[in-house]
Amino acid sequence: MMRRLIAGLAVLLSCLTPLPLLAAEPADIRLGVLQYGTVNWELDVIRHHGLDAVHGIHLEVVPLALKDAAAVAVQGGAVDVIVSDWLWVARQRGEGRDYTFYPYSRAEGSLMVRPDAGIASLADLAGKRLGVAGGALDKSWLLLRAYSRRQTGRDARDLVEPNFAAPPLLNQLMLQGQLPAVLNFWHYAARLEAAGMRRLVSIDEVLAGLELDRELPMVGWVFKEAWARAEPAAIDGFLKASAEAKRILAESDAEWERLRPLMKAEDEATFRALRDGFRAGIPTAAVAQAEAAARQAFLVLAREGGAPLVGNAAELGDGVFWQGSGR
């Protein structure tokens, strides 16, 4: 009797079809990015290789026309993540807002000069016009001011005649011969170098001259800490997808060939300069080291930019750098 019961149970079990495991719904992330920014290259890699799906997220990319629009979008709740500056995050936290920062790129600008301008050193810029991108409170300009005092004994603000303007316009004016020198963001500097302009000093050299860690991130992913803690799968999946895309871009020349139409490089020299510049900016240090570098740089930047830059903050506060949802 017992044997017949066991046999019958075995037959019954063999007829049952296991129910499939239900896949978890992907976590939605609204990402605000400039329409023509270099961040779009990485996002294209994420989508092309399905890295968003692999890491359990669904990206909704919200194109933005201006840098200031990104801050407005994340503050108003229109997007969850933007690309911005850790100094902006530090000031926001100092005013009671809970934004946090994760390094995206340490690619920095350069001070470029025309080869026919007779400028061989920083001191040779004395009295000349210098185009500056990003405004009077831009990190690169403030760091250059401090570096200039060490190198020439004069603040760059007093050494040169600064002309603040949009990056594309500065490139145009330099190529037309209307500006002898330009301090511009990395991808614009890369285009100038490909066009025959000469690199006088990079921000990497400025950091070394100021005895600051070269792993200093320039921009990063910015989001609200409360959102990240409420949606740990979303932010963790997004940062993993971002890291995997950077690994592909660091290692695969073929991937860059696929991206070539998106880059809008005018020629081979420009294409290589943009590719190599992006790769050079991929962070290699741990977040803790990047945060330590930012703490060092904050002291220099706060001295140069003062309250208009950092508000009342005397140092880089805790929480500016995102250390992970498990912290």
Cα 304 to Cα 204: distance, rounded to the nearest angstrom: 18
What pLDDT was estimated at residue 11? 41
Distances (CA, A) of 130 to 149, 165, 261: 16, 10, 32
What pLDDT was estimated at residue 24? 67
pLDDT tens digits for range 226-279: 999 999 999 999 999 999 999 999 999 999 999 999 999 999 999 999 999 999
Both structure tokens of 130:
């210098």
Domains along the chain with CATH numbers? 27-106+217-310 (3.40.190.10), 110-209 (3.40.190.10)
pLDDT tens digits for range 271-316: 999 999 999 999 999 999 999 999 999 999 999 999 999 888 888 9
pLDDT tens digits for range 39-53: 999 999 999 999 999
Please report which confidence band the pLDDT of residue 324 belongs to, taking 50, 70 and 90 as the band edges.
confident
Please indicate whether residue 182 or residue 1 has the higher confidence score (pLDDT). 182
Please report which confidence band the pLDDT of residue 36 belongs to, taking 50, 70 and 90 as the band edges.
confident
Residue 2 pLDDT exceeds 70 = no
The order of strands in the sheet holding 161-164 is 161-164, 129-132, 181-184, 110-113, 198-202
Cα 162 to Cα 131: distance, rounded to the nearest angstrom: 6
Residue 23 pLDDT exceeds 90 = no
Pairing of strands 57-64, 27-34: parallel
What pLDDT was estimated at residue 66? 82
Location of structure tokens 């330009």? 182
Amino acid at 39: V
Q: Which residues contact 307 (CB under 8 A, 6 or more apart)?
A: none
pLDDT tens digits for range 67-110: 789 999 999 999 999 999 999 999 999 889 999 999 999 998 99
Cα 39 to Cα 259: distance, rounded to the nearest angstrom: 12
Task: For Cα atoms 40, 105, 52, give the angle at the middle one, nearest 5 degrees.
Answer: 45
Cα 314 to Cα 53: distance, rounded to the nearest angstrom: 42
Pairing of strands 181-184, 110-113: antiparallel
Residue 113 pLDDT exceeds 60 = yes
pTM of the model: 0.89
Cα 218 to Cα 23: distance, rounded to the nearest angstrom: 38
**Axis crossing angle, helix 268-280 with helix 186-194, rounded to the nearest 10:** 150
Residue 65 pLDDT exceeds 90 = no
Kindly state the average pLDDT of the residues 11-19.
42
Among the listed residues 100, 20, 38, the one whose alpha carbon sits nearest the alpha carbon of residue 327: 100
What pLDDT was estimated at residue 326? 59
What pLDDT was estimated at residue 325? 66
With H, G, I as helix, E, B as strand and everything else as coil, classify residue 35: coil
The 8-class DSSP code of residue 57 comes to E
How many other C-beta atoms lie within 10 A of the C-beta of residue 279? Answer: 14
What pLDDT was estimated at residue 227? 96
How many other C-beta atoms lie within 10 A of the C-beta of residue 145? Answer: 23
Cα 48 to Cα 52: distance, rounded to the nearest angstrom: 10
How far does CA 279 lie from the centroid of its chain? 12
pLDDT tens digits for range 129-148: 999 998 999 999 999 999 99
CB 278 within 8 A of CB 38: yes
Mean pLDDT, all residues of the chain: 91
**Dihedral sign from CA coordinates of 281, 286, 287, 291:** negative
